[in-house]
Structure 1
C-alpha cells in the first residue's frame, strides 16, 4: 500500500525528463542553426531512403556509364566542428571536388612524385622489420605477435611524413596517431550519434568525447602546418601534401552562389578545412594499407603453401636485398595475393551516393518506395556493399576461397585490377566511376613494400598448432579484422634487410 504514492511521483519525474529533453533539443537546434549561419553551412536535409544495389552489371551502368548523376556522396555524420562537407570523400561532386582531388593527385600521388618518397618508404619498412625482429626473444626463435599495432605505427609514420613533411617531430606523429586512431576506430561504432539529435542527447558524454578529439586534432595540426610553412621559406625538405593545400585555391561557392553569373572567384582553404583534409589523408591512407596487409598475413598463416610460393617469388626475382618500384610491379604472384585479399576484404565496407530517385529509375535500377524531398528533387542514398560485389557467385568460382592464382595469366580474373574497369565490374575495393580512390596506386605500392618485407624476413603461422585465426569482419569506416591478428612469427634463415630503391 505504501508503494502506491510513488506512481504519481514517477510519472511526474518522467514527464519532467521528457520536457527537459525537448527543451534541450530545441536549444541545441537553435544554437547549431546559428553556428551554421555564421559558417555559411547548409541546413541538413532529412535522412535519405537507402537503396541497396550489389548487382555488378547495374552498378557499372550507374557508376560508370552515368557517372555525372551518381558521383555525389551523403554528408558524413561527423561532429559539426569537423567541417565534414569539405573533404574529398564527402564534398559534393562539382568544381570544389575537382579542385581538391586534382591537387591531391598532382601534389602527392602523381607517378612522377613516387620516386621522391622512396627514402620515407625505406625508413618505414626497415623500422617495422627491426622492431618486429627485436620483439622475437623466445627460446624457440619465434614469438606470437599481435602485428596490427606495430604495422599501424610504421604505416602512419610514413603517411604522416608524406602529409606534413619529413621534418615533423616523432612526438607529434605519435600524438596524431593516437588521436586519429581513437576517432576512426571508436566513432565508427557510434556513427548514429551524428545522425540523431536524440542519440546525442542520450549519449552526450560520448558525443562530447568525439568533439574533444576534433578540438585536440585542430590544436595539434594547425601549429604543425604553421611550423611547416616557416620551414618552407628555407626551401628544404620534400614537398608534402600540406604544402599543396596551403597553396591551393578553391572555387568560392559562397560568393558565386549568391550571384546569377559565374564570377570565377577563388579563395584559400580555411583552417577547419585544412584540419579535415589532413585528418582524411592520415586516416584513409593508413587504415586501408594496414587492413590489407593484416588480412593478407592472416590468409598466408592459414595457407602456408601460398606463403611459401610468395616467399619463393620474392627471393628469386632479382637482387636478394633490393626491391624497387619496377621490380615490385613485376612480382606477379605478390600482386595476385594482394588482389585476392582485396577481393575478399575490401578496405571500404560500403560505398554511398546521394542521387536523384528519378535518375535511379531511369537507369533501370527501380524506383524506391519513398525519398526525401530536396527542393522538388526526390533524393535517395544508393548503398553498395562492396564485399558482396567481390563475392558474387555469378562472377567468381568458389568466391569464398582464398586463391591468388585466379589473378594470374590464364586465371578467371586475369587483367582484373583494384579499380573497376569501364566494361565490367567484378570487384571494387577502391570504388568505381569518377570517385574511385585517388590513392589506389600508392596504396598498392605500400601494401607491396610492407608485405614483401614481412614475408621475406619472417615466416607466419597459426599462433598455436590446431588453432585457427578469427576471420570475422568488423564494419565501420573501414572493414578490419574484428580480432587483431595473432600469429606465430619466426625469422627466416639468414635474413637480409630489404632495401627500397627508386
Structure 2
C-alpha cells in the first residue's frame, strides 16, 4: 500500500516537471545534452521503488535504436542520466579519456549512510581521498604476493564447498550450490579482511548472514534517494530496517577491527605486518583533515564494501557458469579433460595459468552473465581544457554531476561484435576466436568492459579471475554436473545487488570416476 501511495504522488510531480522540461528551449551555440525523451522522467519513481521487474533495459534498448549510442534519460527531474550503449564510445570515454570521466555522481542518502558519506572506493569522489583508498587496496591487498598469502584460505574454502556438496548428494542426489558458494566466498573474504585467525566458522556465518541480508535489501533502500523527507515517512518500516542493518554492521565489524588493532599493538615494536585489509586500514592516513586516521565507522564501510564486492559478484558468476556447464555437457567434458591433462591427480592454483579453455569459460561467463548490467555510474571531472561545469562526449555536453552509465550487458550481447551472442560458447575466447583480441584491462581493442576501465578499472580484477577460475576448476574436477530429469536449467534473471539467477541452480551431481585431489 505504501509503495502505491508514494507512486501516485511522485508520478504526478515528475509528470509536471517533465512538461516543464519539454517546454524549455535549448541554448544555441553550446553543446547540448545527448538526445532523449524528457517525458521519461515519469518512470523515475518506479525505479526507485525497487521494482526489479520494471523493464528499464527495454526502455534503454528502444532509446538506443532511436537516438543512437549516446542518449539521455531523465530518470530523476533534477539530474539527467546519460547512457553509453556502444563499446567503441565506451572505450573512448573510459580509456582514452578516462581522466575526464573518473568521478562519481553525488551519492544519494542510502549510499551516504552505508559508505560513511562516500568514504569508500565505489562511491567516493575522484580526488586525493579516493586515490589513497585505491592505492592502499591495490598495493597492500591485491598485489600478487599478497594474494598468494591467502592460498590456504582458498583451499579450505574449496574443501568446505566440496564437503557441503557431498552432504547434499547423500540425500536425493540433488545439489543446490548457491548457498554453498556464498559461504565459501565469505570464508575467503573474511580471512582477507580481518585475518585468518579471526575467520572462524561462527564469524564467517555471522558476516555472511548480515551481508546477504544487505544484498537482498539494498535495491529497496534506493527509494530514499528521492525526496527523503517524504519517503522516510511513507516507508517508515523500510527506513528503520535500513538503519538497523547499518547499526548491526557496526556492532559486528567494530569488535573485529578492535581485535585487529589489539593484535598489532601486542606485536613486537607495536606494529604487525599487513596481514589483512583491516591491518592496512589501521595504518592509513587521510590526506584531508590534517592527515588523521580512519574512524572505526569509516573502516566498517570499507570492510562492508570489500566483503560485498568480492563475495556476491563472484558467487553469482560461478553459479551462472555452472548452470551453462550443466546445460552444455560437451563444454563441461572438454573443460574436465583439460583439468585432468594439466593437473593430473592434484589440482593447484599454479596450474590455472596453463588452462586456456578454463580461462575462456570464465571470460564467456562474464560476457554472457556480467554481475552488473551497468558499470558503476561515472561523472565528469572538470579539467583545464573543458568547461568547469562538465565535459563533452561525442560532441554532447555532460553536465557536472550528471550520471554517465555504460550498458555493459547489452554490449556483451551485440551481434555485430559477438556472433550468436546469446549462446554460451567459450571457443570465441580461444586464439582465433572473435574474442581473442578482448583486453579487459584497457588495451587497444576493448569489446567488453564488465567492471569498468580507465582510471577506475576494477582493482580486484586479478583476484576475481583467480577466484572464478579456482572455484570453477575445483567443482568440475571433483564432480560431474547434470540436468535434473525433465527439468532443464532456467536462465531467467533477478536483480539484487548483483544480477543473479531467478531460480537457483539445481543439478544432479555425481563424483567423477577420476577425482583430482591432493
Secondary structure of 2:474 counterpart? helix
What's the counterpart of residue 329 of structure 1? 353
Match of residue 97 from structure 1: 130
> SS of the residue aligned with 2:141?
helix
> How far 1:80 sits from its partner (Å)?
4.7
Is the 1:165–1:237 Cα contact (8 Å) retained in structure 2? no
Q: Aligned residue for 2:32? A: none
Counterpart of 1:156 (choices 179, 186, 195) is 186
Q: 2:34 maps to what in 1?
A: none
Query: Shift of the alpha carbon at 1:318?
Result: 3.1
Report 1:418-457 matches (<5 A). Answer: 419-457=440-478
CA 1:128 to 1:237, structure 2 compared with 1: closer, same or farther past 3 Å? farther
The change in CA–CA distance for 1:84 and 1:422 in structure 2 (over 3 A counts) is farther
Does 2:396 match 1:366? yes
Q: Comparing 93-102 with 485-494, which one deviates more in the overlay?
A: 485-494
Q: How many residues align?
A: 431
Show the counterpart of 1:240. 276
Which residue among 491, 497, 500 is the counterpart of 2:511? 491
Deviations 1:268-318 (A, max 9, x none): 112221010000000000012101100000000000000000011001113
Correspondence 1:130-209 to 2 at 5 A? 130-138=163-171, 143-168=173-198, 169-197=200-228, 198-209=230-241
Which has the higher mean CA deviation after the structures are superposed, 190-199 or 328-337? Answer: 190-199
Matching residue of 1:471: 491
Give the equivalent residue in structure 2 for 1:228: 260
Question: Rg: which structure is higher?
Answer: 1
- TM-score (normalizing by structure 2): 0.79
CA RMSD of aligned residues (A): 2.3
Q: Does 1:266 align with 2:298?
A: no
Shift, 1:267, TM fit: 1.6
Is this contact kept in 2: 1:60–1:422, CA < 8 A? Answer: no
What is residue 383 of structure 1 aligned with on the other side?
A: 405
CA contact (8 A) 1:179 1:217 kept: yes
CA distance in 1, matches of 2:233, 2:196: 42
Deviations 1:102-157 (A, max 9, x none): 0001111001212211111111111111121122114xxx6222111011001111
Distance in 2, matches of 1:249 and 1:195, equals 34
Out of 45, 70, 82, the residue aligned to residue 101 of structure 2 is: 70
SS at match of 1:438: coil
TM-superposed CA distance for 1:440, in Å, is 0.8
Where structure 2 has 5 or more consecutive residues not aligned to the other structure, the ranges are 10-75
Cα distance in structure 2, aligned partners of 1:282 and 1:120 = 15
Shift of 1:189: 3.8
Task: Please state how far the C-alpha of 1:349 moved relative to its aligned partner.
Answer: 2.2
Q: 1:356: Cα distance to partner?
A: 6.5
Q: Distance in 2 between matches of 1:76 and 1:188?
A: 14
Residue 395 of structure 1, aligned match among 417, 436, 446 = 417
Q: Measure the CA separation in 1 of the matches of 2:482 and 2:232.
A: 44
Distance in 1, Cα, partners of 2:106 & 2:278: 24
| Distance across 2 between alignment mates of 1:86 and 1:237 | 24
Report the alpha carbon displacement of residue 467 of structure 1 after superposing the two structures with TM. Answer: 2.2
Assess if the C-alpha contact under 8 Å between 1:52 and 1:383 holds in 2: yes
1:355 Cα shift? 2.5
Structure scoring higher RCO (CA < 8 A, sep ≥ 6) equals 1
Hey, what does 1:39 align to over in structure 2? none
8 A contact 1:87–1:277 mirrored in 2: yes
Structure-2 residue corresponding to 1:353: 378
Q: Distance in 1 between matches of 2:424 and 2:316?
A: 16
Structure 2: distance between partners of 1:192 and 1:345: 26
Q: Secondary structure at the match of 1:396?
A: coil
Aligned residues of 2:88 and 2:447 also touching (Cα < 8 A): no
Residues 167, 237 of structure 1: 8 Å contact kept:
no
Classify 1:52/1:79 alpha carbon distance in 2 versus 1 (closer, same or farther; 3 Å): closer
Tell me, yes or no, if the aligned pair for 1:420 and 1:427 is still in contact at 8 Å: no
